[in-house]
Structure 1
């Protein structure tokens, strides 16, 4: 079995799917059998994943044991390995929901975020909500120009990202 991190096209919800092969995933998607468990969207793609590469058999370093199915996958950064209290899990869930609502009506502009924000601010592009990637320097420059921006609380996987 192969485990894929999947992402829906509507709400950018990330979830896990198990398939016998990559072709099985493609076939099930083509038949409309794969849907987001959160919003029901059928527009599903593979999300970026870190490869699971084991250590060489002659390696001196120890490799941590595989994670259990209830733990976070390797595709997202972890803050702490201890189980979070229920109220923290609830807060993170609410942040994720709020961010999904914000992004639902926002256009992904990728690495062109700073240029697009600047064009909108100066009236060279249509006013609309956007989100994307900006370096710390670009964000600082935008703020110095009086262009209001805000960091997103949780990581965002770019739409249409494939393995």
Structure 2
């Protein structure tokens, strides 16, 4: 896997993971890489600094002030960095507050509600790509969420 920092023609910057450099090139040439913020398809790799890990003995000697300089002091790391991140956080909170998490049973639960064998309610969960495609082809109203769900545990 490789992580690229990308930017669009509107100067929005975002990170994205790709299976390889070749995979990025194929997706980019096919027009399948778009801005995560505005949807613009005019994407280029942004200048990135390589992530080089220091030797163990050098890492132990590194002053804490260097780590502190990497994070903006005016906001906590958990706070959204932009209005877009804040909007995504708000959507996530609303989905979690107003829907039932059904995990990997999402496809079967959505189908059962569509067929009338289960009570209708707002649900969210996880589905494999082929399961999601089958739901859409069968007219079951589903949509991907614009954030990672993360697994809920007991």
TM-score (norm 1): 0.46
More helix by share: 2
TM-score (norm 2): 0.48
Higher radius of gyration, 1 or 2: 2
